[in-house]
Amino acid sequence: MEVPPAQFILSFVQGARKALVRAEDVPAAFKDAFPNGAEVSTHRYGYTVELQLPTRYATLTGKYFNGEDLRFYFVNGLYSNFNDTAGLAGMVSAPSIDGASTVVFGMRNGIPVVAPQRPVRTQGYMLDLGFPWSRLLRANPTGRNAGWTTNLHYSIDMVPARDARRMSGVRGKTDLAAFTLTYKLNSLVSFVGEESMYRTRAANSAANDAGGLFLLRGIPSRQWHDIRTEVGPIFTF
């Protein structure tokens, strides 16, 4: 019985975004200072180090990632960017042209400015353990029970304490645990059932600081979680 070779994987992403405010959307108090509108931008980068180790009995996959503005990658539960309003007075906000961001105007030492937007830094890891049950139980490779596999998965995103303190939100960590059962009917059709739990933990878990905790049912809480059950087919062409 052959085992696929182990893999060592490196990946990298880099990008930039820009929030634009039209001239007509600039708050009235700042129109003279920004007659042509305003813009503010941030950068995104990220890198991963990944190892896939197949054996006769299980396949272990592990990944470490680090970067900034990675909300739409990996666990997908933290932040993208935030308005750094430290030192500003008389703040007024306006929507960006695409409605995806809010831009803040304010006064710094009596001078009208746009608050810089900062990408939120994050790091985390992922572990996945897959078991080929049909092969382990020596099912007939041409029979109906030849396609059973399961996967145990855990991943987590973490924001550095310095960023968590400066941004307006209260989330500090988000993790995901999942159990997946897959039955491969043939080369074209598979059926998958998954039970997962997404959990978000407060950046400030101090019991005497209710403003730094989540409000669940009106009660300050350190954690929020969502349990999901998903079942469906996968078609491969």
Mean pLDDT of 89-113: 93
**Residues 8 and 50 sit within 8 Å (Cβ to Cβ):** yes
Q: Which residues contact 183 (CB under 8 A, 6 or more apart)?
A: 147, 148, 190, 191, 192
Give the whole-angstrom CA distance, residue 118 versus residue 107.
Answer: 18
86 by Cβ neighbours in 10 Å (0-12 / 13-18 / 19+) ranks as: exposed
Indicate the pLDDT class of residue 39, thresholds 50, 70 and 90: very high
Does the structure show a pLDDT above 80 at 25? yes
7-16, 42-51, 187-196, 210-219: least confident range: 210-219
CA–centroid distance for 139 within its chain: 38
Task: Answer with the residue of higher pLDDT: 98 or 127.
Answer: 127
Q: Which pLDDT value is given to residue 212?
A: 57
Task: Give the dihedral sign, CA 159/164/167/169.
Answer: positive
Question: Of the candidates 135, 128, 131, 237, which has an alpha carbon nearest to the alpha carbon of residue 181?
Answer: 131
- Kindly report the number of other CB atoms within 10 A of residue 155's CB atom: 20
In the DSSP assignment, the letter for residue 232 is: E
What residue spans define the domains of the chain? 7-235
Rounded to a whole number, what is the distance in angstroms from the first to the last CA of the chain? 26
Task: Give the dihedral sign, CA 56/5/76/120.
Answer: positive
pTM: predicted TM-score of the whole model, two decimal places:
0.76
Mean pLDDT of 103-128: 93
Give the whole-angstrom CA distance, residue 160 versus residue 84.
Answer: 16
Q: Which pLDDT value is given to residue 49?
A: 95
Does the structure show a pLDDT above 60 at 171? yes
Does the structure show a pLDDT above 60 at 67? yes
Assign 3-state DSSP to the chain and report helix, strand, coil percentages, each to 5.
10, 55, 35
Q: Which pLDDT value is given to residue 48?
A: 93
Task: Answer with the residue of higher pLDDT: 89 or 225.
Answer: 89
Percent of the chain's residues with pLDDT above 70: 86
For residue range 175-230, list pLDDT tens digits in order: 899 999 999 988 899 999 999 998 888 776 554 454 556 666 666 777 788 899 99
For the chain, the average pLDDT equals 86
